[in-house]
């Protein structure tokens, strides 16, 4: 399985819209949005203490998912998505 497929699978488990999350030992506010009928999506997350930021686009192509981090290493976003859980309200 590719890193992009791993990220796509984990994103499927996250809610759409804005939610509180826990990842990498910190609390975050995250927003997951779908575009083009679900063919692409965006995840943006900000650590609540202002110490970090994660942003990615994922394109669901016929040849498989394509991960496009926004001005950060793919490893950073993959690590975040692998660890993120939705926080209880």
Tens digits of per-residue pLDDT, 3-44?
Answer: 899 999 999 999 999 999 999 999 999 999 999 999 999 999
pLDDT of res. 40: 97
- Total domains in the fold of the chain: 1
pLDDT of res. 19: 97
Q: What angle do CA 31, 12, 41 make, to 5 degrees?
A: 50
Evaluate if residue 70 carries a pLDDT over 80: yes
Range of the domain at 62: 3-83
Whether residue 43 contacts residue 29, with contact meaning beta carbons closer than 8 Å, is answered with no
Residue 30 lies in a domain: yes
Q: pTM for this one?
A: 0.92
Q: What share of the chain is helix, strand, coil (3-state, %, to 5)?
A: 25, 45, 25
Instruction: Give which of 55, 47, 71 is closest to 7, Cα–Cα.
Output: 55
Residue listed under structure tokens 């910190």: 26
Residue 88 lies in a domain: no
pLDDT of res. 88: 76
pLDDT of res. 27: 97
Residue 13 lies in a domain: yes
């Amino acid at each position: 399985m590719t890193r992009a497929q791993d990220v796509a699978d984990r994103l499927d488990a996250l809610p759409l819209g804005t939610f509180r999350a826990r990842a990498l030992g910190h609390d975050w506010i995250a927003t997951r949005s779908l575009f083009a009928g679900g063919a692409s999506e965006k995840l943006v997350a900000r650590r609540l203490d202002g110490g970090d930021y994660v942003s990615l686009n994922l394109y669901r192509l016929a040849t498989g998912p394509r991960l496009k981090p926004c001005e950060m290493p793919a490893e950073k976003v993959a690590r975040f998505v692998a660890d993120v859980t939705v926080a209880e309200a």
